[in-house]
């Protein structure tokens, strides 16, 4: 009964407003509008019009002491005050005026009353009743949802996942799958766990860079367990009004409990789960939503079958209260795929397209080092699109290789016109990188060198390929990498005795590497194993913040410069020693525009 009464509260104010409008309408607007019809004129105008015989009808209203009259045509109504005028009637008669009934027709008072009072009230009551019915039916999500269901969670529910995603669709990520298959097992067979007294984690946090398949994994868990799956993004909880988000959280959990066992998936949980750091002007709404989430997670029994999965790529920004045991007590890293993982992901997505028999996906996986699952899916799709553009009905190795370059460096620029000199400089620059890389024994071999300009702004690039998986890099390898990065500029200096702007990206990367060697990897003699920098968001770009005194900062800067300088010198020496090869290779590249790693090695070894 209470539930029905509650929503009526806003209706009382609704009726008050309606009554106000009616009063205004009937007492102010209507008389005003009626007044406007009738033009008030002076008595002399009336007399003039009488003289001119321009009077149609006349009504003399003794009680109000006024004369209402129309012109001859009868399309204008005038009004004037009465004055003492004895032969008025005579003159009017002579002017041909008609003394007929009322000019301004007055409807019967009853009809007027019905039309202007009763009818509107009946209409408004009808609308009010209809709205109240709607409100009652929507009022299931707590008191806040009274206002047109704004506080209702709009979680998408995937009930049956028979055609949905399974673990097999998520390639690689074996550790994450293993971890999550325990949840699936639990949902299938909770008794086994209860028998031993083991309880499932309430929440599992999937952590990793964007596009690594976190959402897919969550869906796959639901698909494997064959339970309902509620999916919602963290940002959907954030509403304009304080308290709405909290109400949505309540509603989501209410729905989930009704459907248990089930899985609730909150994507991008950092949108609501950020640290409550008490900043001035903090976000009240977000904090309330977070508090509600914390309360809800505490509020349900571990073994009632609701399991919460959440995904984020900013785990360090989450509130510690959210990540403590009892809430999100398990953290599953979903990292970028390794070589094997990349090949598997390519295979999964390649099933959707028609491949030429000669396609070797392992080569593509090798070339696409550092790509996420989403990027690999994109590479396959770009290749298929290229095949269509070229009127083929199957995808070739060349399509795939080109699409990697498109994903890395953008499309080929069709009408970029480099001068002859520029093209030469770019050729030397790229061969400089490749030669330095090849001559340092530990550097990865070159896969491809090209000087075709790309839409990303790159005038050319050298694609290096790592042979196997690299989990660790030694100091020497890092130094070689810096040397390789400086190789382009070193070649320009050696051949043209000048510098160009083409090396800006190399410089950035070399500096970043050198800096992290000194501040984070403990590869400087002076600082030993002391961290001078901390990484803020490891999955999104990896910004760092310094944690040292100003003097140390100056020393770090000095050492970074020294390190890069040393490698730059080394690169210059390597190129000088191999000047003839440098010229030969650069000429060849200038001629061909794109050369493969094999061609490069052949010329180098000759
Ligand atoms: P995230 O939630 O981690 O940002 P998604 O799960 O939304 O990433 O993945 C985006 C897309 O990338 C998926 O739709 C899928 O096509 C592809 N993808 C990512 N990882 C994988 C994987 N391990 N196996 C197969 N496809 C993947």
Q: Do residues 309 and 214 make contact, with C-beta atoms less than 8 angstroms apart?
A: no
* In-domain check, residue 387: yes
Q: Do residues 71 and 28 make contact, with C-beta atoms less than 8 angstroms apart?
A: no
**Could you tell me the CATH number of the domain that includes residue 258?**
3.40.50.300
Among protein residues, the one with the nearest Cα to ligand 1's atom 11 is: 374
Residues 343 and 328 in one domain: no
What is the phi/psi pair of residue 268, to 5°? 45, 55
pLDDT, position 142:
39
Q: Can you read off the two tokens belonging to residue 65?
A: 């002491």
Assess whether pLDDT exceeds 80 at residue 538: no
Most confident of 6-10, 98-102, 250-254: 250-254
Residues 449 and 367 in one domain: no
pLDDT, position 131:
75
Pocket test for ligand 1, best of 176, 180, 211, 311 (most atoms within 8 A of CB): 211
Assess whether pLDDT exceeds 80 at residue 587: yes
What's the CA-to-centroid distance between 27 and ligand 1, angstroms?
66
Q: Report the C-alpha gap between 480 and 474 in whole angstroms.
A: 10
pLDDT, position 401:
87
Higher pLDDT, residue 263 or 456: 263
Domain encompassing residue 534: 420-605
pLDDT, position 169:
85
* Mean pLDDT of all residues in 523-533: 84
Assess whether pLDDT exceeds 70 at residue 158: no
Residues 444 and 360 in one domain: no
Task: Write down which residue in 312, 333, 354 finishes a domain.
Answer: 333
190 within ligand 1 shell (Cβ under 6 A): no
pLDDT, position 180:
87
What's the CA-to-centroid distance between 345 and ligand 1, angstroms?
9
Least-confidence region, from 341-350, 525-534, 578-587: 525-534
216 within ligand 1 shell (Cβ under 6 A): yes
Instruction: Determine the 3-state secondary structure of 80 from DSSP.
Output: strand
Reported as a single tens digit per residue, the pLDDT across 284-322 is 777 788 888 888 887 766 557 788 889 988 888 888 888
Residues 294 and 439 in one domain: no
Could you identify the residue written with the tokens 């529910």?
157
Work out the pLDDT band at 18, boundaries 50, 70, 90: confident
* Mean pLDDT of all residues in 478-485: 91
Most confident of 16-20, 212-216, 457-461: 212-216
Per-position DSSP letters for 490-555, written without gaps between them: HHHHHHHSS--GGGHHHHHHHHHHHHHHHHTS--STTTTT---EEES-TTTT--EEE-S-HHHHHH
pLDDT, position 137:
52
The bridge status of strand 328-333 relative to strand 203-207 is parallel
What's the CA-to-centroid distance between 343 and ligand 1, angstroms?
14
Cβ neighbors of 300 (< 8 A, separation 6 or more) are: 202, 253, 257, 306
**Burial classification of residue 284, based on how many CB atoms lie within 10 Å of its CB (0-12 exposed, 13-18 middle, 19 or more buried):** exposed
**Burial classification of residue 127, based on how many CB atoms lie within 10 Å of its CB (0-12 exposed, 13-18 middle, 19 or more buried):** exposed
Q: Report the C-alpha gap between 395 and 398 in whole angstroms.
A: 8
51 catalytic residue (yes or no): no
Residues 268 and 329 in one domain: yes
What's the CA-to-centroid distance between 212 and ligand 1, angstroms?
5
**What 8-state DSSP symbol labels residue 64?**
T
Work out the pLDDT band at 29, boundaries 50, 70, 90: confident
Q: Can you read off the two tokens belonging to residue 565?
A: 């300088």
Reported as a single tens digit per residue, the pLDDT across 391-450 is 998 999 988 988 888 877 667 666 666 788 888 999 999 999 999 988 886 555 677 888
pLDDT, position 588:
92
Which is nearest to 148 in space by CA: 158, 159, 137? Answer: 137
Residues 491 and 518 in one domain: yes
Among protein residues, the one with the nearest Cα to ligand 1's atom 15 is: 374
Q: Do residues 312 and 212 make contact, with C-beta atoms less than 8 angstroms apart?
A: no
Q: Do residues 271 and 237 make contact, with C-beta atoms less than 8 angstroms apart?
A: yes
Percent of the chain with pLDDT over 70: 84
377 within ligand 1 shell (Cβ under 6 A): yes
Q: Report the C-alpha gap between 585 and 178 in whole angstroms.
A: 49
Per the structure, the count of domains in the chain is 3
Residues 590 and 447 in one domain: yes
Residues 481 and 557 in one domain: yes
Q: Annotate 353-391 with three-state secondary structure.
A: CCECCCCCHHHHHHHCCCCCHHHHHHHHHHHHHHHHHCC
Higher pLDDT, residue 154 or 434: 434
Could you identify the residue written with the tokens 């100091």?
475
Per-position DSSP letters for 20-42, written without gaps between them: HHHHHIIIIIHHHHHHHHEEE--
Q: Report the C-alpha gap between 469 and 471 in whole angstroms.
A: 6
* Mean pLDDT of all residues in 91-105: 74
**Could you tell me the CATH number of the domain that includes residue 509?**
1.20.58.760
Higher pLDDT, residue 373 or 299: 373
Reported as a single tens digit per residue, the pLDDT across 34-81 is 766 778 888 888 888 888 888 888 887 777 778 888 887 777 888 888
Q: Report the C-alpha gap between 445 and 480 in whole angstroms.
A: 12
Percent of the chain with pLDDT over 90: 16
Higher pLDDT, residue 258 or 543: 258
* In-domain check, residue 38: no
387 to 358, 376, 394, 402: CA distances (angstroms): 15, 17, 6, 11
Residues 298 and 441 in one domain: no
pLDDT, position 466:
63
Assess whether pLDDT exceeds 90 at residue 460: no
* In-domain check, residue 315: yes
332 within ligand 1 shell (Cβ under 6 A): no
The bridge status of strand 229-233 relative to strand 66-70 is unpaired
pLDDT, position 156:
57
* Mean pLDDT of all residues in 455-474: 72
pLDDT, position 486:
94
Q: Which residues pair with 68 in a beta bridge?
A: 59, 79
Assess whether pLDDT exceeds 80 at residue 592: yes
pLDDT, position 82:
79
The bridge status of strand 38-40 relative to strand 446-450 is unpaired
* In-domain check, residue 80: no
Q: Do residues 72 and 55 make contact, with C-beta atoms less than 8 angstroms apart?
A: yes
Q: Do residues 266 and 236 make contact, with C-beta atoms less than 8 angstroms apart?
A: no
346 within ligand 1 shell (Cβ under 6 A): no
311 within ligand 1 shell (Cβ under 6 A): yes
Assess whether pLDDT exceeds 50 at residue 2: no
Residues 397 and 439 in one domain: no
pLDDT, position 280:
54
Assess whether pLDDT exceeds 50 at residue 139: no
**What 8-state DSSP symbol labels residue 454?**
B
Cβ neighbors of 10 (< 8 A, separation 6 or more) are: 135, 146, 147
374 within ligand 1 shell (Cβ under 6 A): yes
Instruction: Determine the 3-state secondary structure of 228 from DSSP.
Output: coil
| pTM of the model as a whole | 0.66
Reported as a single tens digit per residue, the pLDDT across 497-510 is 988 888 888 999 99
- 59, 224, 239, 430: which is the annotated catalytic residue? 430
Higher pLDDT, residue 556 or 259: 556
* In-domain check, residue 41: no
Mean pLDDT score of the chain: 80
* In-domain check, residue 403: yes
What's the CA-to-centroid distance between 375 and ligand 1, angstroms?
9
Task: Write down which residue in 358, 376, 409 finishes a domain.
Answer: 409
User: Which atom of ligand 1 is least distant from the CA of 208?
Assistant: 3
Residues 517 and 385 in one domain: no
Work out the pLDDT band at 511, boundaries 50, 70, 90: very high
Task: Write down which residue in 333, 355, 386 finishes a domain.
Answer: 333
**Could you tell me the CATH number of the domain that includes residue 376?**
1.10.8.60
- Does residue 261 have a cis peptide bond before it, meaning omega lies within 30 degrees of 0? yes
* In-domain check, residue 468: yes
* Mean pLDDT of all residues in 217-241: 79
Higher pLDDT, residue 144 or 261: 261
* In-domain check, residue 244: yes
Q: What is the dihedral of CA 81, 82, 84, 88, to 10 degrees?
A: 120
Report the Cα–Cα distance between both ends of the chain, in Å, rounded: 93
Higher pLDDT, residue 96 or 399: 399
Least-confidence region, from 87-96, 470-479, 496-505: 87-96
pLDDT, position 483:
93
Q: Report the C-alpha gap between 516 and 473 in whole angstroms.
A: 13
Residues 531 and 455 in one domain: yes
Q: Report the C-alpha gap between 53 and 95 in whole angstroms.
A: 5
Q: Do residues 425 and 492 make contact, with C-beta atoms less than 8 angstroms apart?
A: yes
What is the phi/psi pair of residue 460, to 5°? 180, 165
Q: Report the C-alpha gap between 203 and 186 in whole angstroms.
A: 14
Q: Do residues 576 and 493 make contact, with C-beta atoms less than 8 angstroms apart?
A: no
307 to 32, 199, 218, 228, 355: CA distances (angstroms): 66, 11, 11, 11, 40
pLDDT, position 559:
93
Work out the pLDDT band at 271, boundaries 50, 70, 90: confident
Among protein residues, the one with the nearest Cα to ligand 1's atom 7 is: 215
215 within ligand 1 shell (Cβ under 6 A): yes
């Amino acid at each position: 009964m209470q539930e029905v009464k509650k929503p009526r509260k806003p209706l009382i104010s609704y009726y008050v407003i309606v009554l106000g409008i009616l009063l205004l309408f009937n007492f102010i607007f209507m008389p005003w509008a009626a007044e406007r019809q009738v033009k008030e004129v002076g008595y002399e105008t009336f007399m003039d019009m009488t003289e001119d015989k321009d009077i149609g009808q006349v009504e003399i209203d003794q009680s109000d002491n006024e004369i209402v009259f129309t012109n001859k045509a009868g399309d204008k109504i005038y009004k004037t005050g009465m004055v003492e005028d004895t032969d008025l009637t005579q003159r009017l008669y002579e002017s041909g005026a008609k003394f007929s009934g009322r000019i301004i027709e007055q409807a019967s008072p009853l009809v007027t009353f019905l039309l202007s009072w009763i009818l509107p009230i009946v209409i408004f009551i009808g609308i009010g009743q209809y709205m109240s019915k709607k409100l009652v039916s929507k009022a299931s999500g707590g008191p806040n949802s009274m206002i047109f269901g704004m506080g209702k969670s709009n979680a998408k529910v995937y009930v049956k996942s028979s055609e949905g995603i399974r673990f097999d669709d998520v390639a690689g990520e074996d550790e994450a799958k293993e971890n999550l298959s325990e949840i699936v097992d639990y949902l299938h067979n909770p008794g086994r766990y209860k028998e031993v007294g083991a309880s499932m984690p309430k929440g599992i946090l999937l952590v990793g860079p964007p596009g690594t398949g976190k959402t897919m994994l969550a869906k796959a868990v639901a698909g494997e367990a064959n339970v309902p799956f509620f999916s919602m993004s963290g940002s959907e909880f954030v509403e304009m009004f304080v308290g709405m988000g909290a109400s949505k959280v309540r509603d989501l959990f209410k729905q989930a409990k009704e459907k248990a066992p089930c899985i609730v998936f909150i994507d991008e949980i950092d949108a609501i789960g950020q640290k409550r750091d008490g900043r001035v002007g903090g976000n009240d709404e977000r904090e309330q939503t977070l508090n509600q989430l914390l309360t809800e997670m505490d509020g349900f029994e571990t073994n009632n079958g609701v399991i919460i999965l959440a995904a984020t790529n900013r785990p360090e920004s989450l509130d510690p209260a959210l990540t403590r045991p009892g809430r999100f007590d398990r953290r599953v890293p979903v990292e970028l795929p390794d070589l094997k993982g990349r090949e598997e992901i390519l295979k999964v997505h390649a099933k959707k397209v028609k491949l030429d028999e000669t396609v070797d996906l392992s080569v593509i996986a090798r070339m696409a080092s550092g790509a996420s699952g989403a990027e690999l899916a994109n590479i396959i799709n770009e290749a298929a699109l290229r095949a269509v553009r070229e009127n083929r009905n199957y995808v070739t190795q060349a399509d795939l290789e080109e699409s990697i370059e498109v994903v890395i460096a953008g499309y080929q620029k069709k009408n970029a016109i480099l001068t002859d000199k520029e093209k030469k400089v770019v050729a030397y620059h790229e061969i400089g990188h490749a030669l330095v890389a090849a001559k340092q024994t530990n550097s990865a071999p070159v896969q491809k060198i090209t000087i075709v300009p790309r839409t990303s702004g790159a005038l050319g690039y050298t694609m290096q390929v790592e042979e196997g998986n690299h989990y660790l890099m030694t100091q020497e390898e890092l130094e070689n990498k810096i040397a390789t990065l400086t190789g382009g500029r070193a070649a320009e200096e050696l051949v043209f005795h000048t510098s160009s702007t083409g090396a800006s990206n190399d410089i950035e990367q070399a500096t970043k590497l050198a800096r992290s060697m000194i501040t984070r990897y403990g590869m400087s003699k002076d600082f030993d194993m002391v961290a001078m920098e901390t990484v803020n968001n490891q999955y999104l770009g990896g910004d760092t913040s310094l944690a040292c005194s100003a003097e140390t900062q100056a020393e770090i800067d000095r050492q970074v410069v020294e390190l890069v300088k040393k490698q730059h010198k080394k690169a210059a020496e390597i190129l000088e020693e191999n000047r003839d090869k440098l010229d030969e290779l650069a000429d060849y590249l200038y001629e061909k525009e794109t050369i493969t790693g094999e061609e490069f090695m052949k010329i180098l070894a000759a």
